[in-house]
Amino acid sequence: MKLSVPRRVPAVAVFALAGLLATAAPAASADPADVRPAPVSALAAPDIPLANVKAHLDRFQSIAGSNGGNRAHGRPGYKASIDYVKAQLDAAGFTTSVQQFTYNGTTGYNLTADWPGGDVNQTVMAGAHLDSVSSGAGINDNGSGSAAVLEAALAVSRAQLQPTKHLRFGWWGAEELGLVGSRYYVNNLSGTERSRIAGYLNFDMIGSPNPGYFVYDDDPVIEQTFKGYFAGLGVPTEIETEGDGRSDHASFKNVGIPVGGLFTGASRTKTSAQAQKWGGTAGQAFDRCYHSSCDTTANINDTALDRNSDAIAHAIWTLSAGDTTEPPGDVYENTTDVAVPDAGAAVTSTVTVSGRSGNAPAALKVGVDIKHTWRGDLVVDLVAPDGTAYRLKSSSGSDSADNVIATYTVDASAETANGAWKLRVQDVARYDTGYIDSWKLTF
């Protein structure tokens, strides 16, 4: 069953994006009585710790080192990689399955991991090929995608996420030999099983040393989910134009499943215009070690890997949260922690909105994630660039529950969109304290 197709797109399988609100909440005004936190159907995705992703890359590197220098199909290093990833997921509560196939006379393996719960008729998948070429360890290609997808899955477990849609993760074999593992996986799904996959997100080379920020333009809703995320970071993106069929998303697209993904570039050369917008070196390949023995842990750009890992988490949280035909918005987010002093002065966290025209929407979504051990102490306001305050939450002494993790809707149509928006938080009662973990505006 494909998810409902939004009115204004051609009648192809299109991923309908998760709504940020499960039900419409009254637009907030200055009067606190009008504002109630929306049902928490789309929590803010956590920041994915870069160190965790790199620790997986270190493991892939040492696996290659102890298995003939590579993790290629049919070689011991590939099976050792599968065993490592599977062990992590089993320990984190996933239901894993190893699928064997034969190619070139040798056994290959796909690994899938299901997160229990969610509507299996709307399964959101994220995947990466785990094999390398035989000439090296394959850390960027594609340890980077494999490690980031693994860490996003582990973040789902740490959060004990309960998404509306079912989540499945996949690591594919023998991609380098022609998308062999992912094609085998898709070909062995029944028609019903295929129709249950609402979308497949592919991550193949997401930490290139001279990175570009490319977004697949296959499914518009998935594409916009990624573009909106990077817009919130102020990072420009380009459409991935190295041609369809170049990675495992093609296996899914070929059977009509909506696909999307991210890419930081391979052997193509970065232009000066691209170096202007992204930094790095013009006239040099995005990854000079593509398919070479120098594709090691030294062949990774940390900023690119970190940004893409966080974008993966954002897409997983967003796309699995609910079902609506609403198009995704542009997200402006601040994930820096800000301590809230106990019974002290108000503190603020800022997101700067730029490049928009006109005023903010009448249903501006304000997602907050405040960690606190007695949320009744907290008063929370949205402050517009011109200083106008919109009460999101008033103090309520008796509410002793932890944390304020909610999405509010504010009628901000009187405010210009561009400028520095602030979340203002004050702890007005003694004992218990906390911090702003992250917050975001969705236009």
* Residues at the contact surface with Zn ion, assessed by CB under 5 A: 141-142, 176, 204
CB 249 to ligand DTR: min, Å = 8
Are 79 and 173 contacting, i.e. CB atoms less than 8 angstroms apart? no
**Minimal CA–CA distance to 242: which of 268, 281, 222?**
268
Q: How many CB atoms lie within 10 A of CB 277?
A: 14
Q: For residues 52 and 263, what is the distance between their CA atoms, to the nearest angstrom?
A: 20
240 contact, one of ligand DTR, Zn ion, Ca ion, none, CB 5-8 Å limit per kind: ligand DTR
Please give the distance of CA 53 from its chain centroid, rounded to a whole number: 14
Q: For residues 443 and 426, what is the distance between their CA atoms, to the nearest angstrom?
A: 25
Beta-strand pair 338-340/259-263 = unpaired
Binding-residue total with Ca ion (CB under 5 A): 4
**Does 287 participate in binding ligand DTR (rule CB under 6 A)?**
no
CB 214 to ligand DTR: min, Å = 7
Q: Which is nearer to Zn ion, 203 or 317 (CB)?
A: 203
266 contact, one of ligand DTR, Ca ion, Zn ion, none, CB 5-8 Å limit per kind: ligand DTR
Residues 39-78 that bind Ca ion (CB under 5 A): 47-48
The per-residue b/e assignment along 60-92, b for 16 or more CB within 10 angstroms, e otherwise, is bbebbeebebbbbbbbebbbbbbebbbebbeeb
**Does 219 participate in binding ligand DTR (rule CB under 6 A)?**
no
Q: x/- string (CB under 6 A) for ligand DTR, residues 129-158?
A: ------------xx----------------
Binding-residue total with ligand DTR (CB under 6 A): 12
CB 350 to ligand DTR: min, Å = 35
**Does 306 participate in binding Ca ion (rule CB under 5 A)?**
yes
Q: For residues 118 and 322, what is the distance between their CA atoms, to the nearest angstrom?
A: 10
Are 411 and 332 contacting, i.e. CB atoms less than 8 angstroms apart? no
* H-helix segments, 267-416: 272-278, 302-319
Across the beta sheet with 389-393, the strand order is 347-353, 419-427, 378-383, 389-393
**Does 333 participate in binding Ca ion (rule CB under 5 A)?**
no
Q: Which is nearer to ligand DTR, 259 or 363 (CB)?
A: 259
How many residues make up the chain in this entry? Answer: 443
| 114, 175, 219, 411: which one binds ligand DTR (CB under 6 A) | 175
Q: For residues 133 and 290, what is the distance between their CA atoms, to the nearest angstrom?
A: 10
Which structure tokens are listed for 156? Answer: 């789902």
**Does 85 participate in binding ligand DTR (rule CB under 6 A)?**
no
CB 427 to ligand DTR: min, Å = 47
Q: Which is nearer to ligand DTR, 81 or 433 (CB)?
A: 81
Residue 358 φ/ψ, nearest 5 degrees: 75, -155
**Does 408 participate in binding ligand DTR (rule CB under 6 A)?**
no
**Does 151 participate in binding Ca ion (rule CB under 5 A)?**
no
Q: Which is nearer to Zn ion, 141 or 223 (CB)?
A: 141
Q: Which is nearer to ligand DTR, 96 or 308 (CB)?
A: 308
**Minimal CA–CA distance to 381: which of 24, 23, 35?**
35
Beta partners for residue 103, in sequence order: 106
Longest C-alpha distance within the chain, in Å?
A: 70
Residues 226-285 that bind ligand DTR (CB under 6 A): 240, 242, 246-247, 263, 266
CB 54 to Ca ion: min, Å = 11
CB 3 to Ca ion: min, Å = 29
Q: Which is nearer to Ca ion, 257 or 305 (CB)?
A: 305
242 contact, one of Zn ion, Ca ion, ligand DTR, none, CB 5-8 Å limit per kind: ligand DTR
**Does 402 participate in binding ligand DTR (rule CB under 6 A)?**
no
**Does 295 participate in binding ligand DTR (rule CB under 6 A)?**
no
For residue 337, the SS3 value is coil
Region from 95-103, 286-294, 308-316, 354-362 binding Ca ion, contact rule CB under 5 A: 308-316
CB 88 to ligand DTR: min, Å = 22
* H-helix segments, 66-130: 76-91
Question: Any residues with CB less than 8 A from the CB of 33 and at least 6 apart, and which?
Answer: none
Task: Give the angle subtended at the CA of 260 by the CAs of 61 and 166, to the nearest 5°.
Answer: 85
Is 175 a residue of the active site?
Answer: yes
Q: For residues 75 and 134, what is the distance between their CA atoms, to the nearest angstrom?
A: 9
263 contact, one of ligand DTR, Ca ion, Zn ion, none, CB 5-8 Å limit per kind: ligand DTR
**Binding residues for ligand DTR, per CB under 6 A?**
141-142, 175-176, 204-205, 240, 242, 246-247, 263, 266
**Binding residues for Ca ion, per CB under 5 A?**
47-48, 306, 310
| Catalytically active residues, by annotation | 175
